[in-house]
Amino acid sequence: MADGRLQGRKVAVLATDGFEQVELTKPVEALKEAGAEVHIVAPKGGEIQGFNHHDKGDKVRVDRELSQASAQDYDGLVLPGGVINPDQLRLEEKAIDFIRHFVREEKPIAAICHGPWTLIDAGAVDGRKMTSWPSLKTDLRNAGAEWVDQEVVTDAGLVTSRNPDDLPAFCAKMVEEFAEGRHAGRTGRGAEAGGRDETRPTV
C-alpha cells in the first residue's frame, strides 16, 4: 500500500543499456509505492536493455532523454548498478553534469552496486562514507571516500548499497532519505571544484 511519504516528489533514475534489472525495478516500485513520480532518464530515447547478471533481461521504456531532461525538475536521483551501465554513463558528459546538479544542490542520491562509480566523475565521493560492489572499493577510496562493507550506508542524503541482496534495506533507506529532502553540508569537494577530478580541471 502507498504510504504517501513521497507524494509530490519527482525522482530521476539515471541509467542506460546494461543496467542490473532488479536494481532499477525494485527502487522504482518502492518510490512509486511511497507516492513519488518517477522518470527513467537515459542518454538515448526509446528503451534501454536490462540484465540479470550476465544474461539479458527486460527492456525498460525511457521517460526522458538526457538531452531533454532538466535535473532541476527532480528532488532525488537513483543510480542503479550493472557493470556496463555506469561505465557507459561515465563517458557521457551530460550524464555527469546531471549527477553533479544533485551533489551541488544537496539533493538526496541513492546508488547501488556499480552505480557509485559515476559519483567519482561527478566529484561526489571525497570525504563521504559509502559502500558499493567490492571491486569499486579501491577506486572510491582513491577518490577520497571512506569505503565500508555494510548492506546500506547513509551519509547526509547519500545512500549506497553493495548488491541486489541489499535491496530491501537500500529501498527502505532511500525512501526515508528522499522524504527528508535536501541535506545541507553533503556536497563533495570535487563537485565544489566543478569537476570529475580535483587534479584534472574540466574545460
Respond yes or no: is residue 114 known to be catalytic. yes
Pairing of strands 152-155, 146-147: unpaired
Catalytic residue among 54, 113, 171, 183: 113
Those residues with Cβ within 8 angstroms of residue 176's Cβ, 6 or more apart along the chain or in another chain = none
Q: Tell me the C-alpha distance between 30 and 37, whole Å.
A: 11
Catalytic residue among 39, 54, 101, 114: 114
Respond yes or no: is residue 113 known to be catalytic. yes
CB atoms < 10 A from the CB of 134, how many? 11
Residue with cell 563517458: 91
Q: Tell me the C-alpha distance between 37 and 177, whole Å.
A: 16
Catalytic residues: 113-114
